[in-house]
């Protein structure tokens, strides 16, 4: 596991990664959230964890 210089550096990385994850799903319409694409193996709804986004 990577070690961070400080608590603030860890918090920054967590926030940056979470923001990238959330941005992946921002453009998906509500009507399309349950469409399963073969290359992904899951729907956007499957990927989006309850309570996130």
Structural domain boundaries in the chain: 7-47
Across 4-28, average pLDDT: 91
Angstrom distance (rounded) from CA 41 to CA 37: 6
Higher pLDDT, 11 or 32: 11
Three-state DSSP state, 15: helix
pLDDT at 3 over 90: yes
Angstrom distance (rounded) from CA 41 to CA 8: 35
pLDDT in the model for residue 36? 73
CA 30, chain centre distance (Å): 16
How would residue 47 be classed by pLDDT, with cut points 50, 70 and 90? low
Contact 43, 36 (CB under 8 A): yes
Task: Return the number of other C-beta atoms located less than 10 Å from residue 42's C-beta.
Answer: 10
Percent of the chain scoring above 90 in pLDDT:
32
Percent of the chain scoring above 70 in pLDDT:
68
């Amino acid at each position: 596991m990577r070690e961070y210089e400080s608590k603030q550096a860890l918090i920054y990385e967590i926030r940056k990664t979470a923001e990238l994850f959330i941005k992946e799903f921002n453009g998906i319409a509500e009507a399309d959230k349950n469409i399963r694409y073969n290359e992904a193996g899951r729907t956007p709804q499957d990927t989006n964890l309850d309570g996130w986004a």
